[in-house]
Amino acid sequence: MSVPALSAIVTFHGEGILAHTSLRSYALSRNIARREGKEIQLVLVLDRADAQTRAFVMNHPDLDGSETIVETQVGDLALARNAGVAACRADYVCTLDGDDLISTTYFLTHLKEAAWLEGRFILHPEMVLSFGMYSAFNWQVDQMGSYYDERALLAVNPWISASFSTRELYETIPYVACYPKQTGFGYEDWYWNSETIARGVVHRLAWGSAYFYRRKWHGSLNEASHAMKTVIPRTSLFTLGRPWAREQDRA
C-alpha cells in the first residue's frame, strides 16, 4: 500500500445528515488531488457518534474503501483528533469537522504551500465563509504578516479549528482535553494554537484555500463554551519572560 501525501482527519459526533454533505465535499477535494497524482487518506473518527451519524458515514456513496474508520468513546473533540492522528499514515496531516465544507482544491493548495515552507509550521485556510445561523466571511491572519499581533491571543483565537501540519508536530504537541463542564476551561483549538506558538511554531496560510464553516443553531461547542463563560487553560505563551512580555514590562 502506497503512503498517501496527506491524511485528513474528520471528526464526527452527532451531525446526522450533515455528515453526508461534508463527506461529499471532502471526497470531491480528494478526487481533485488524485488527478494531480496526490493520494489522500481520509481518517474518519466516529466519537460516540449517534446511530444516524454513523449510518450516514459508514454507508456514504463517495467512500471507496481506502478510508480509515476509527471509532472511539472518548467524548471529547481534542482526544478524538488525537485518536485520528494515531491512525494517520501520511507525513502531512490536516483536521476537519464533520459538518463543514471545503474548496475543491483545498488539499492540493495546502500540499503545494507546505512544499516550500521550512521549519515548523501550521497552515490554515486563507478564507473562512460562515453559513447557517448567520452568514459572514473573513480572511485569516498570517503570523508573518502585518496584521498578526501575538497579544491578541489573550482575547481572541485568530484561527478556526481547521489546521494542517506534519504528523510529527501533531504527535509531539497533541490536543489537550478541556472538559469545560467540569473544569470551566474550554476552546481546545485556541489553547493548542497558543501552545504551538510558544514552542516556536509559525502559523501560515494556504493561499487560495477556503473553508466553509457551518454556524449551527443548536449543538455548537463554541456556543456552549460561550454560554458557560469558559476560558482557555493557562498557556505558556503568556508566561513571564517571553519577548513581548519583557517589552511590556519595560514600557
Mean pLDDT by 10 residues, the chain (251 residues): 92 96 98 98 98 98 97 95 98 97 98 97 98 93 95 93 98 89 76 95 98 77 54 80 45 35
The grid coordinates of residue 218 equal 443548536
Give the pLDDT score at 246.
Answer: 38
Which of these, 43, 173, 37, 40, lies nearest to 96 by C-alpha position?
43
Strand partners, 102: 211
Give the pLDDT score at 8.
Answer: 98
Report pTM. 0.91
Give the pLDDT score at 218.
Answer: 56
Question: Are 113 and 207 contacting, i.e. CB atoms less than 8 angstroms apart?
Answer: yes
Give the pLDDT score at 242.
Answer: 60
Query: Between the CA of residue 99 and those of 212, 219, 242, what are the distances in Å?
Result: 9, 11, 38
N residues, the chain: 251
Give the pLDDT score at 191.
Answer: 94
∠ CA 77-83-86, nearest 5°, is: 145
